[in-house]
């Protein structure tokens, strides 16, 4: 009998929905859990899903309670757990930033020297400051670090930021980034369960890769093929196919989704017509 793979995913919070949607898009068909259900099975894969807090995932994986887990890279670093990052998942993007009140004179991370800094990420913050040779006093809070300067508890804060709107709302401005994070798939570091974990990495990775790309189709004058090929931010070479109309070819290529908006006007300028971009479901490079 095949051993079932167990994966711990966040039961609530901002990583819950995107993790669930990734598992569904990967074709694992997890059974929708009812309220307070702690475990679910996938319908068409030998995978069991355990719902736990995102903070607990690194330890569950490290201690071998589960084979793999989805959590934030910041939480892996904060817990100091001995696990392997198998895959970056492309959501839950945020960064650990240092911020000071708008009226403060500080302009860079070096200005944190000798300051009192409130943070809910003491381990990550201490490591990042030590790496930069900055000596500061950390005040650990469990949340809402952004109000501490106004309360006179700290001169600055170190907190996770995605849009920056919480900082702005609280009259704070960033003076530098200490760590970049996103949701990650992690596995055990002792090699146990490796094969199943690698399979999961390939399956989830095919969707993560696909989401970051678009399939581009366009018709290009034959004499512009070289210029268009040079322009395309793709790794491999595009497919070029003859059309019934002489002097024009069809060109297909995979392009990074985030570059499409810059690419389209340039393609038009080179004479490309009938430009289409399509979502990609899976991609294994
Ligand atoms: P949760 O507290 O369960 O909602 O999820 C926290 C995790 O979401 C963090 O550990 C980060 O990996 C990720 N995250 C993404 N953006 C942010 C943000 N602006 N603030 C805090 N956590 C964030």
pLDDT digits (tens, 9 = 90+) for 110-135: 999 999 999 999 999 999 999 999 99
User: Which residues have C-beta within 8 Å of that of residue 234, sequence separation ≥ 6?
Assistant: 253, 254, 255
Which pLDDT belongs to residue 96?
98
Which pLDDT belongs to residue 193?
67
For the record, the structure tokens of 263 come out as 């690419």
Choose from 22-26, 72-76, 244-248 the range with maximum mean pLDDT: 72-76
- Tell me the C-alpha to C-alpha distance, in Å, between residue 39 and each of 5, 16, 70, 197: 13, 14, 15, 18
DSSP three-state, residue 267: helix
Within 13 Å of residue 146, how many CA atoms lie on the same side as its CB?
18
- Distance, CA of 154 to CA of 81 (rounded, Å): 29
Q: What is the residue with the minimal CA distance to atom 21 of ligand 1?
A: 160
Report the separation in Å between the CA atom of 221 and the middle of ligand 1, taken as the mean of its atom positions.
Answer: 48
pLDDT band at 94 (very low <50, low <70, confident <90, very high): very high
- Distance, CA of 49 to CA of 38 (rounded, Å): 8
Q: What is the residue with the minimal CA distance to atom 20 of ligand 1?
A: 160
Choose the weakest-confidence range: 87-91, 208-212, 236-240.
236-240
Which pLDDT belongs to residue 26?
94
The answer to whether 5 and 68 have CB atoms below 8 angstroms apart is yes
For the record, the structure tokens of 60 come out as 């569950």
- Checking if the pLDDT of 218 tops 70, the result is yes
Which pLDDT belongs to residue 285?
82
User: Of 29, 4, 196, 41, which Cα lies nearest the Cα of 20?
Assistant: 29
Ligand 1 site residues (CB inside 6 A) read 10, 13-15, 54, 72, 74-75, 92, 94, 160-162, 181
Q: Is the pTM of this model over 0.85?
A: yes
Q: What is the residue with the minimal CA distance to atom 22 of ligand 1?
A: 160
Which residues lie across from 173 on neighbouring strands? 100
User: Of 127, 112, 39, which Cα lies nearest the Cα of 79?
Assistant: 127
User: Of 49, 47, 55, 46, which Cα lies nearest the Cα of 32?
Assistant: 49
Which pLDDT belongs to residue 35?
67
Three-point CA angle 65, 67, 70, nearest 5°: 100
User: When comparing pLDDT for 150 and 285, which is higher?
Assistant: 150
Residue with tokens 């887990």: 69
How does pLDDT run across 238-258, given as a tens digit for each residue? Answer: 999 999 989 999 999 999 999
- Checking if the pLDDT of 234 tops 90, the result is no
Q: What is the residue with the minimal CA distance to atom 14 of ligand 1?
A: 92
Which pLDDT belongs to residue 254?
95
Average pLDDT, the chain: 94
pLDDT band at 260 (very low <50, low <70, confident <90, very high): very high
Which pLDDT belongs to residue 164?
94
User: Of 115, 105, 103, which Cα lies nearest the Cα of 157?
Assistant: 115
Which pLDDT belongs to residue 149?
96
Report the separation in Å between the CA atom of 114 and the middle of ligand 1, taken as the mean of its atom positions.
Answer: 28
- Checking if the pLDDT of 1 tops 60, the result is no
Q: What is the residue with the minimal CA distance to atom 7 of ligand 1?
A: 72
In percent, the amount of the chain with pLDDT more than 90 equals 85
Which pLDDT belongs to residue 256?
95
Residue with tokens 């970051």: 212
């Amino acid at each position: 009998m095949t051993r079932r793979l167990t994966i711990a995913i966040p039961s609530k919070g901002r990583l819950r929905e995107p993790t669930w949607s990734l598992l569904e898009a990967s074709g694992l068909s997890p059974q929708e859990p009812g309220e307070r259900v702690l475990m679910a099975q996938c319908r068409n894969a030998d995978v069991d899903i355990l719902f736990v807090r995102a903070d607990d995932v690194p330890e569950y994986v490290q201690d071998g309670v589960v084979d793999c887990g989805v959590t934030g890279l910041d939480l892996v670093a904060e817990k100091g757990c001995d696990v392997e990052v198998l895959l970056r998942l492309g959501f839950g993007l945020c960064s650990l930033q240092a911020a000071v009140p708008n009226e403060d004179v500080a302009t860079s991370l070096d200005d944190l020297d000798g300051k009192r800094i409130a943070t809910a990420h003491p381990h990550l913050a201490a490591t990042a400051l030590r790496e930069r040779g900055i000596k500061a006093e950390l005040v650990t809070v469990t949340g809402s670090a952004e109000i501490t300067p106004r309360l006179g508890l700290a001169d600055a804060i170190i907190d996770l930021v995605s849009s920056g709107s919480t900082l702005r709302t609280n009259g704070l401005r960033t003076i530098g980034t200490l760590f970049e994070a996103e949701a990650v798939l992690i596995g055990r570091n002792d090699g146990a369960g490796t094969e199943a974990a690698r399979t999961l990495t390939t399956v989830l990775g095919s969707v993560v890769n696909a989401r970051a790309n678009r399939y581009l189709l366009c018709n290009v004058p034959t004499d512009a093929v070289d210029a268009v090929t040079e322009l395309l931010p793709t790794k491999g070479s595009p497919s070029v196919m003859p059309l019934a109309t002489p002097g024009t070819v069809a060109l297909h290529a995979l392009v990074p989704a985030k570059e499409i908006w810059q690419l389209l006007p340039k393609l038009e300028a080179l004479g490309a017509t009938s430009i289409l971009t399509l979502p990609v479901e899976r991609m294994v490079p």
